[in-house]
Structure 1
Amino acid sequence: MFGAGPSGGLADAIRAQADAQSRAAALRIEHDSLTEYKGMVDALLEELSGSDADHKKLADGTLTQAALGRGFPEADAIYTSYSTVITELEGLSKGLAGQIEGLGIAVLSAGNGFADVDEETRRRMAAIAKEARAQYVPERDPYVEEQRKSAAGGTV
């Protein structure tokens, strides 16, 4: 009764709407998860920024490399490691902010489609995508490694 004729189109439309709502709900969950994770990263940065180990204080000379000791490689390694961690955390936080913003736009446009998004939002999405491509490091992507192993005939 519902499978043929004009009412079949109605069933297809209902299915399509349900699928769109399901995708929007999945995006909302992913957006919320990334927002929570970014909050944890930002909290760590905030905790560090209030201490003498703040990267801004290091740059201002409050804590110099020499303050950790001179003449032994361990002090140099600690200073280098700290600087690397701060730089990577800041990059992670910035990247997550872009992903969260992009997911937010995707969630808002999921119901109506990207065709109805205004020009400014399109430009912002393009800028987010460009920044993500610029920051992408294939060597850090576990999916790329999986693909390499699979192509080489290894197990995944």
Structure 2
Amino acid sequence: MAEALTRQAQALEVEYESMTAHKNRVDALLRALDGSEADSRRLAHDTLPAPALGTGFAEARALFTAYDTVHGRLQRLSRGLAGQIEALGIAILTAGKGYGGVDEETRTRMRALVRHAKEEYVPARDPLARQDGQAGGTI
């Protein structure tokens, strides 16, 4: 029994250098996202005013509504990606320490990221949930 546990522990052992390199790549992705056109803060400020597409006819209103919808979804996607990348970085950083070795600030941040991801999750948009028959609602 002890030998099996030792093998399992060895199988789960974290290679620090590999995980550090991966975390550095994740951090670089997050920095690239933060500085890019896909940054949710930049998307929030770069909006198109409604009159820019025309006024007084239904097509202009419909086009602006579509633009506004897509713009809002891009903002949510950007925030979601940033959160997922940050959560992955935290998971990599804390991998080997065990949950008991993680400071309270990091735990709180990870819980906030998980809570936000759950709030934003839409099963109808998840191809795996649709495949398993768990998705409901509209896209």
Q: TM-score with structure 1 length normalisation?
A: 0.63
Q: Structure 2 vs 1, CA of residues 38 and 120 (structure 1 numbering), >3 Å: closer, same or farther?
A: closer
What do residues 8-60 of structure 1 show as CA deviations (whole Å, max 9, x unaligned)? Answer: 74x863663343337x95897598469648845862346xx59xx921xx4xx
**Structure with the higher fraction of residues in helix conformation:** 1
| CA RMSD, 1 decimal | 3.8
Equivalence map 1:2-151=2 (5 Å): 9=3, 13=6, 16-21=9-14, 25=18, 29=22, 32=25, 36=29, 39=32, 43-45=36-38, 54-55=46-47, 58=48, 63=49, 65-148=50-133
* Displacement of 1:116: 1.0
- The count of residues paired between Structure 1 and Structure 2 equals 130
Rg: which structure is higher? Answer: 1
* Displacement of 1:103: 0.9
What do residues 63-116 of structure 1 show as CA deviations (whole Å, max 9, x unaligned)? Answer: 3x2332233332112211221122111111111121111111110111222221
8 Å CA contact 1:102, 1:125 repeated in 2: yes
Query: Percent same amino acid among aligned pairs?
Result: 40
What do residues 93-150 of structure 1 show as CA deviations (whole Å, max 9, x unaligned)? Answer: 111121111111110111222221111111111111111111111111111101018x
